Structure formats: C-alpha cells, structure tokens
Structure 1
C-alpha cells in the first residue's frame, strides 16, 4: 500500500498517539517533506537524504494499520484480491514513467547506453530493479548523474513491491498462529515482526560493513526498516505522551530528518544502524501526532501545500530522477546548477500532477476493475503489455542491427590490420565501426572455467578469482596471467594462442590492482592480494608469468613502473619463471565510445595527439636495469597512429570505455601480437 492510498481523507483525528485510525494530514505532510528531501538532495547535493528510508517506514506503518484493523475486525484476509488491488493502483504510473523514459532515451541518450536502459526497464516493470543494481555494483553516489540510469531510482519501489507481497503473508501467518494457539493477534504480530526486525538489522549491519554497495540495494538489508514501521503501528495505541512532550518530539523529529543527510556518512554506512537516524526521526513525528498546538510540528506538516505535495509524492518520486538524468544528458553537464535544479523540480511537479490527475486517480476510482479479480488482472496485463511490447521490439531491433554489422566485419572492419604496411589493407569509408555500440558490454573477456584440482589456490583470498583456459591435450607451456583488468583484456589474444598451441593459461586478477610489491599507489587490500598471488605463482611454478608492466595515466603521457614490480620480476626470474611485461595502453579522461557517438569518429576530441597521450619512451630501460631478463612488449604503435591515438582504427572501436581495449580490436591484433610474443619469448 502506498502512503497516498492509505492516507486518503477520512474522519479527522482528534488526539495525538492514542488512536491508529483516521486520516492523518501530518503523515501526508511528512511524506511530502521526505520526497522534497530526496529530490533536493539528488539535484543539488549529490547525497542520500534518508528520505527514501522514511518512505519505507511510512508505507509499512500504514499497511500494518490496515491489516491489523482487518484481523481484529474479523474480516477475511483475501490476499489475492489485496495484491491485485494494490498493484492495480501502483503499476499504471510506473508504466507511464517507463514509457516516457524509453521515448526520451531513444532521442537523447547515446545508443551505447540503450542496453542498460532496456534491462532496467524490464527490471523496474517487474519490481526487481534493486537486484539488478546490486549485481552490477552501481555507484549510487556518483557525482555525475548524467552517467546514471534514468531508472536507477526504481530500486526502492522494487524493494517496496517485494515487501508488499511478503508482508501480507506474514500477517496471515501471524493470524493463523494466534488462532491456532489462542493468543492475542497483536502479541503474535509483534513477535513475528520483532524477529524480522532483529534478524534483518543484524544482517544489514554485517553486510553494510562487508559489502556496502550491495547492501544498499539488498531487500534483506532493508526489511528491518519496514518491520520498524509495523512495530510502530503496533505500539501507537499504547503510547500516551503529554502534549508538551509531543510538541517537542515532533520538532525534534523534523529537525533530525532535515539534518541527517548532512551529518551522517550515508555513503559508507547506509543502510546499517545509521539508517535508524531518519527512521526514528520520522517515528517521533508520527508518535507526536496531532497536538492541536499552534506551535506544533503537526501544524506545519498539515499545511495544505505540504499535504498536496504529499498527494503528488509517489508520482513526483517516479518522475524527478529521470527528468534530472535526461536533462543532464541533454545539456551534457554533470550537475544542473541552482536555476536548472528549480526548472527540473518544476517539470517534475507538472508531470507528477498530470500522472496523478489522469492515471492514478482514474484507475484508483475504477470500481469496475475491483468488482472481479479477472478485471484487475486485465488492467495489470494491459499495463505490463504497454511496456513489454515496445521494449521487446526495441531489443530485437538493436540485436538484429548488431548481427548485421558483425556479419560484414571480415570485409568492412579490418581493425589493426590497416596499420601493417606490408598488408596494404584499407578500411572502406562510410562503414559503421564494430562492435555496435549497443554490444559494448560483451567486449570484455569473460572466463568460463574456474580453477579446479591442483590449480585451486590454497589461499581463500584468491580462490574465487582463479580461472583457467585448458588445452585439449597435455599442455606444452604453462602460463599464469596476473594483475588488474588491463592484464585481463590481453586474455583475448592469449587465449586464442593457448587454444591453438596447446598452452594452459591460468588467470588470477583483481580490478584496479597493479602487480608488484609495496604500498605506493596501492590499497592495503591490493598489497595483500599481490603477496598472496606471488605465493600462488611460486607454488604453481609456471613457465611464464604475463602482466602489465607499466602504469599509464590520463593526465600525463609518461607511464611509470608499478611500485616493486621490477623486484618481483627479478625474484620470479631467479626461480626460473620467465616474466613477460606488456606496456599499458593509453588512458583518456572520457569514454572513447561516447566521444564517437556524440562528436563523430573524425573529431579531434576523439583523436588526441599521440605525444600528449602516451610517450614514445616507455620506462623499459629502468625496468631492464633492475630485472634484465624481463621480456617487454609494446603495442603502442598499434593502438595509436603516427600523430594521434584514435578512438576508431580500421572501422573498429579501439576502446570500450576510457581505458580498456575492446575485444574486437584485440582480435584484429592477433597476428602482430603472436609475432611479437614469439620474438620476445620464443614459440
């Protein structure tokens, strides 16, 4: 049950916290304050306000009041009818927003981002968006919202939708237990939801500490917030506070709500115990109730403008984030500024009002659909179909276009081969580069086979990050690839050579962790990782270790050696393990794909000067001076032309983002990679 549904006008509430019935305008105002906090924090401050957490508490509070009244009134809990009625009210507005986002994204958003928007549209439609974001480890606190998904905010609605299915089941189970053992319903409900509160809060604290990015979107780490709302509904009739204390409680709650987002480290600590701050603040306001005082917080929260914003709050929450993100994409800005922020709020309010006036209210009042279940099913089916049909069609279209482009790649997209003067190959003009920008998420090498048997590391730290490419017969060479994602990208030509030549290749990699030794430029976790990987390499005693041996930077064309790399390379060489170090590829300040999409492949911005991108003098002399037997590979001449470092070479995208080479381009480099590898190491 959304807050708007459960707070529709009813008999006025005459006392503070001694009743759980009737319309409570201060709760509607509280909801308005929460949504305004969410909107303003997103637009201007780039912080999490705690307003969403307040939404979750209020929704559970009102849902619980409704079910308690039904149970104690002896009315049947028709859960199927409840769910149909609930989602009939909620889903149509969701459909309108998703359709609006799809249309605007088609016009404004570069094609490389379409697959993510399509994926998140499906996830939002079926209330699983939070799990998609959790699995993708989205940075919800990114300062540049123009790079965020316009549907990212649906994570909280997905959590809420999942709870709207679970909570009635828990109430039904509580009612059955109370009847079976002749217990008071409220006592059983308190026991059940108290257990949920304790278990979920404990889990939330643990997961927030160990994996905060995942915990933020994890339903299990959020259940305690809903459970607190239910416990508040249970306690409300028994809380009798003096009027003066309720006045103080109301204002303390409002002040805590408004200040929490600035005082708390929400980026690193939500949704663990720190989320108690906004939740307890909202609980104080609810417990304060209507004081009847001219100086009470309830008088402020019950003001007509706030109550009306409360009526709009569901639709306003739905619209504000996509309006913000799409406006920033359109303007190519990381933030809207003061005036731009007010314009975004105004547009969001207009869209929210239109959605409420022409979608929410008409369908809420559609008695025809409430009389028979199959009619409500029809409304839900039509709602889903309105999104599913264009989504499926769009998905099919971009997939087919990508296939058509790939089918002609051998002729039209030679890639790095155009840089070999001996081949005399040129790329035809007017041909779109490969891969299709909608296929960029498939351009990073993915491992299929985890290490097994004797290859499994003994150390738990790296055990789940070990992968292997096994030859069809007894391997003639054993190679271990270590380092970060820049080492992983070279798995494209390495794996191809391994399969052709019968090599065994083991990969132990950690993103953002250059191989070497020493704390300089590394986190303690990376330092521990590298030490563990080195122990594993010594234990496996491979013929060869392959890694990236320099560190390129987007702000300085001169790459440098990773701290301690030469020392580690010399130590491995002393143990009879050959080390092959490849020079790091150029790095850029912005996405190369996005540059081509927005400015064209021939734009100077997409073809920066080679001298300003990566020096012609790698630190190879320094490396060989400390570890003379290292085999050093440098492919800069195949990543850059004589004067520039292009985003597209031979009708192939060189990079998939601002610093990773595409698998398609690396495959086109296979002949030159094989030649130089053999020259440096031997076939």
Structure 2
C-alpha cells in the first residue's frame, strides 16, 4: 500500500525504538512519527496477503490502509498550515508520486513481461488495458466498467494487476485532498474562520454523504460500488476527522490499553466474522476502519501491556516499512503461480512459496529501488527534476507496454480468413466430408483474436425498423437486409449473448434468402417479456423489445429455448420461454427456439492453448454436459407458433465436445461459441430451417 502513509516527519521508520518513542507526557496528537502505525500497517498487509493466498477471502486490510493514508496526510497539511508554510501543491504532488511511481512501474513492467511469457494470449488484451489503467491510477474505474468479479473463487482467472484498484483510488484522493486543504486555507483566511474547524465541517460532510451513497450503492450494486471512488471517500474522510479530533481524545492510560487491544482483535477478526466480499464498502466497512481508529487513539500508552509495545517492535516496523512493496508483489505472484500450476486456489505449500517470494521481492525492491530513489537528492532538488523523474518512471513501464500493444493490436485487427478447405469447422461433421486441411493451416481464430470473436450486424435500425422508445434498445438494435426493400421475410434475433453467438449461423442464410435480419440483444438478459427476470435493467429492456416486436410484426423471432448448466447434463427451459411464446402468438408472430450449447466452468479456449488442442483434459464428455432429451421436449406441439432447432450434433462428437473441430476453435471462453465456428454452422442451420419451415 502507498508509502504516503509512512511518516509525516523527517524521522525514519528504520530508527530504533528508543529514538522513535515520544518523550514522557507527550500527547499522541503532538507526535510527528508514530511507530505503532508502522506496525498497524504491517498487520494490515499481512491480513491482505494471508486472506488472499490461503483463505480466498477479503480481509478489510485495504480499508485500514485507506483510512491511515488520510489520517497521516491530514496531519501533514495541518502542521504545514500551522507553521505558515506554503501549500506548494505542485511540489507536493511530485513528491508524492515520486514515492509511488518507481515501485508501481517496476511491478507493472515485471507483470507485463511475465504475462507475455506465461499467460495465454486470450488474456493479453485485458492485461494490456489494465496495465495502462494501473500506471495512470484509474484501474478501479476500468474494473468497474468491466464488471470484474474481484471475489471470484478462482484467482487464476483474475488479472495480475487487479489489486491496483485500491492504489488507484488512493492516488485519486492524493490529488483531491490537497485541493481541499488549499481551498479551506484560502476560505479560512478570507472569511476569518478557523482552519481546522472548517476542515472538520468539510470532511464531516464528505463522510456523511459518501457513507450514505456507499450504503445505497452497495445495497443496489455491490460489485460496482466496491470499485467506486465516491463510495470510498468516507473512509478517507474518517481518517481526516480522526487527525483533526485526536487532540481532544485524552483517555486514561488503562482505557487506552484496553482500546488498543480491542482494536487489533476486531481488525484481525473482521474478514472471518464479516462477509467483506458481499457487504463492503457500505456501513459494515466501519468495522475495520474504526478498529484501526481505536489503535491510533490508544497510541503510545507507555505500558508494557499496551498493544503499541508490540506494534512498535522492530520486526513489525520493518515489515510496515515495506508494506507498499509487499502489497504490490503478492497478488501478481499469486495469480501467475495459480495459472502456471493450473490451480484454482493455493494450498499450504504453494501459499507459503508465494508469500516467501513476495517477501523476498518486497525486501529487495524496497532496499535497492524504493529507498535509494526516495533519497535521491537530484530529484528532490528542483521541481523540474522531480517532474522528469516521475516521467522517467512512467516511461520505464509505458515504453515496453506501448510496443507490446502495437504488436498485439496488429494481430488482433488482422482479418480472420477462414476457408472451407483449411478451416471447415462444423462442416467437417457433415456427411461425406473429405479432410483437405493443409498441414500448415493455422487453427482459427488466432490466440489474440479468440476472446474478441463475437458476431454482430453492422447496420442500424432506422426507417421502418427504428424503435419508437427506449434508449437502451436504440443502442442495441442492429439491422441487415436488402437495400431495395425486396426482403422475403423479416426475422428478429432476441435475447442474450447465446442468441447473439448463434446469429453468426443465421447471417449467411439471411443474405442468401434475402431476409431483413434484425437483432435486439443484451448480454445476460433472456428474452422474457412476460415473466420478470429479477433484473430491473433486463426487465425494462425486455418491455421495450416487446413493444418493438408488436410494432414491426416480424415473420419470425429466433431466441434461445433452453439454458445449459455448466459441466452438467441438467438443462432448463429458458426463463419465461413458454409465456413469451404465448404472448407472441397473440401478436401473430412465430418463434424458433434454439437449444443451448453445452457449457463448462473451464475456459475451453485457454485450456486448449495451454495444454494443446487435442488434449483430452480440454474435451467435455458429451453425456456429462448434454442431456439426451432437450428441456423443451414437452412443448412440442403444445403451441402452434413455435418450433425448435438442436445443433448439438454439429457442436459435439458422439462421445465428446472438443475445443477444436475442423481446425476452428469451437469456444471463445467457457460457454460461448466463437463467431468463426458459429458461422460454419450456417449449413446445418439452413438445412434444419428448410425442414421446419420449407424453402
């Protein structure tokens, strides 16, 4: 965690305890260096590391870091104001980021090199994006936009730079908070107000508003709230309020001894007793932050029974001094190790190895990179020197990252030139197929392209096909059809991403048969306009789509009829499918229900890239992932306007469902068909469509 939380005085954390301890009778609020905070930071980083590595849980230790950073920063600016020293924000910012950037750049550089060497190419695009986001302190917003599940049980599928989310929030606050201090100082002078009193009101307002927002956001969308800066500001505001009010908290020594130990016990137990991963950063996050506040209030008790005696010990102070480096290193080492050994979580032995390696790298990088650069007199001599040093630190990671991105983008944008001869895909399963694949023919899509191999319609829904309402529908509605208006049918593809993937098989047929093809798709939203899905956004979108169907009156709606269960033959009828069929039947609209493809909990594309396209470990056993009888079997003939199509025999062999068929990658992840493979299903789709509906 950030070394801005280290100290607010010239004294070094490496000083012996006797030099660091305040003189007798000195108040906690008067001390410049507080060795117990170094120990507190050490325990917090140990919580983060151990919970990540061994327990697969979130500890609340990061919240302690955020709280401490604001506490120390507030003390720093208040003392500067009391001395009458100028704010000098430019110099302050450069000083802060010169302390942060070299270590961050070193870790980012190491991760991108390791990612290029050890991670499958399917993850390169995400890693490049997150490396840029981490380098410029916006990783939290990137993760929020990507809706990343930070608490996924399988950390091997997480990004090795995902932990930069907290450093990004901290960096943003390191920019915002000094502006508040400067503005408060200016207003206090102009209005004749008390500087500290004004700050108390400002941070009190931030605390109340942010905590209320955080509680609401956590209750409505916890995954997004976790990465939101505004939902976290109250934790920083609480640290600032404690710094401003600490001098008024003169408690008896005996009470401070009890308070200190109570704070430590509460902080260490938080991750075990509280569902951090499902409840933070709402009101419950007061648990670890108030626990840390209790330790700081207890301060230096002067008692041999005080927790500060333990926290101020040399081992904990030393570990606290390299807590930033340890936080930076532990997560990428864990993710890369799990990926290399193909494990979901670390066992005892692997966990010990991860922690030991992280400690070694933290020590070496702190001693030979962080500390020497922090004491580099040239960088501290002038503002422009500090600016150049910060730019140089960024370039260390940005230069190779930019080069890698250029190479990656070139491969990503290269056209996928699949031919029936060299990349027949599903055509290889057609009767009478003769294998003519060349020996050097590449498997398509390429490793760089596979994760992006989705299909879509290029045109917009306009003219008679323009939706009347619903901004979401307007953005997601797409069209393909003859320009002269001579279409033989109007066909709509509706539903979620599995309907989207099968559209690759429909497009060639629509072109050949001169259809108007319209898509209105939203990931994760089954087309269920009658029965609520439980997702407000999906339900709103489905109502807009229903109105759109009623307006256009297509000849046919194509959607998914079933939903497969990962690694299981259990199959379910799509949510609200039957009621949807009845509803559309009343409009005079026919429905074609497509059977879902088998799903897995394993990323099929990555498995094949890592273990080999022919590895039996990557092939699904058909009987274990596909039911003999489709879930819609009982509906055959029950409704006059619905028919069904099952393409399973062109996705799976008789006994297995392999990741590669006909020299084409079948899956782009754990459950979606690649666009390239789905396109090769068009022959089977056309044949079955003719059987169901005639020519």
Aligned partner (choices 127, 130, 146) of residue 140 of structure 2: 130
Q: Specify the SS of the correspondent of 1:656.
A: coil
Aligned equivalents of 2:370, 2:537: Cα separation in 1: 51
CA contact (8 A) 1:492 1:667 kept: yes
* 1:621-679 C-alpha deviation (Å, 9 max, x unpaired): 42214225422222222212344322112221111112111111122333443443344
1:182-581 matches, within 5 Å, as 182-402=192-412, 406=416, 412-421=422-431, 424=434, 426-445=436-455, 456=467, 466-469=476-479, 471=481, 472=483, 477-495=489-507, 501-509=514-522, 511=524, 513=526, 515=528, 532=543, 536=547, 539-540=550-551, 541-557=553-569, 559-562=571-574, 565-581=577-593
Residue 194 to residue 516, structure 1, CA distance change in 2 (3 Å):
closer
* 1:126-148 C-alpha deviation (Å, 9 max, x unpaired): 11111111111111111111111
Match of 1:2 in 2: 4
* 1:269-297 C-alpha deviation (Å, 9 max, x unpaired): 21011111111111111111101011111
Q: Detail structure 1 runs of 4+ shifted over 6 Å in the superposition.
A: 447-454, 457-460, 516-519, 524-527
1:610-625 matches, within 5 Å, as 610-615=622-627, 617-619=629-631, 621-625=633-637
Indicate yes or no: 2:675 matched with 1:663: yes
TM-score (norm 2): 0.90
Q: CA deviation at 1:300?
A: 1.7
Q: Specify the SS of the correspondent of 1:602.
A: coil
Q: Which moved more, 1:333-342 or 1:656-665?
A: 333-342
Aligned partner (choices 649, 658, 662) of residue 637 of structure 1: 649
Aligned equivalents of 2:224, 2:118: Cα separation in 1: 29
* 1:15-56 C-alpha deviation (Å, 9 max, x unpaired): 575524321111111111111111111111111111101100
Paired residues, what number? 680
Match of 1:149 in 2: 159
1:78-157 matches, within 5 Å, as 78-157=88-167
Q: Specify the SS of the correspondent of 2:564.
A: strand
Aligned equivalents of 1:34, 1:210: Cα separation in 2: 28
Q: CA deviation at 1:200?
A: 1.6
Q: Which moved more, 1:539-548 or 1:27-36?
A: 539-548
Q: CA deviation at 1:508?
A: 4.6
Aligned equivalents of 1:380, 1:571: Cα separation in 2: 62
Q: CA deviation at 1:316?
A: 0.6
Aligned equivalents of 1:176, 1:238: Cα separation in 2: 25
Aligned equivalents of 2:314, 2:221: Cα separation in 1: 42
Aligned equivalents of 1:559, 1:236: Cα separation in 2: 61
Q: Which moved more, 1:134-143 or 1:550-559?
A: 550-559
Residue 138 to residue 17, structure 1, CA distance change in 2 (3 Å):
farther
Q: Specify the SS of the correspondent of 1:406.
A: coil
Q: Which moved more, 1:400-409 or 1:522-531?
A: 522-531
Residue 554 to residue 22, structure 1, CA distance change in 2 (3 Å):
closer
Aligned equivalents of 1:55, 1:451: Cα separation in 2: 50
Q: Specify the SS of the correspondent of 1:334.
A: coil
* 1:326-369 C-alpha deviation (Å, 9 max, x unpaired): 11112111121223222221111111000110011001110111
* 1:508-549 C-alpha deviation (Å, 9 max, x unpaired): 545164749779xx7576996798478536743433221111
Q: Specify the SS of the correspondent of 1:505.
A: strand
Aligned equivalents of 1:190, 1:503: Cα separation in 2: 64
Q: Which moved more, 1:494-503 or 1:273-282?
A: 494-503
* 1:395-433 C-alpha deviation (Å, 9 max, x unpaired): 222333445673576764332333334674632234332
Q: Specify the SS of the correspondent of 1:437.
A: coil
Aligned equivalents of 1:218, 1:451: Cα separation in 2: 34
Residue 33 to residue 506, structure 1, CA distance change in 2 (3 Å):
same
Aligned partner (choices 660, 667, 688) of residue 676 of structure 1: 688
CA contact (8 A) 1:64 1:233 kept: yes
Q: CA deviation at 1:124?
A: 0.8
CA contact (8 A) 2:36 2:308 kept: yes
Q: Which moved more, 1:430-439 or 1:47-56?
A: 430-439
Match of 1:52 in 2: 62
- The runs of 5 or more residues in structure 2 that have no matched partner are 14-18
Residue 459 to residue 406, structure 1, CA distance change in 2 (3 Å):
closer
Q: Specify the SS of the correspondent of 2:322.
A: helix
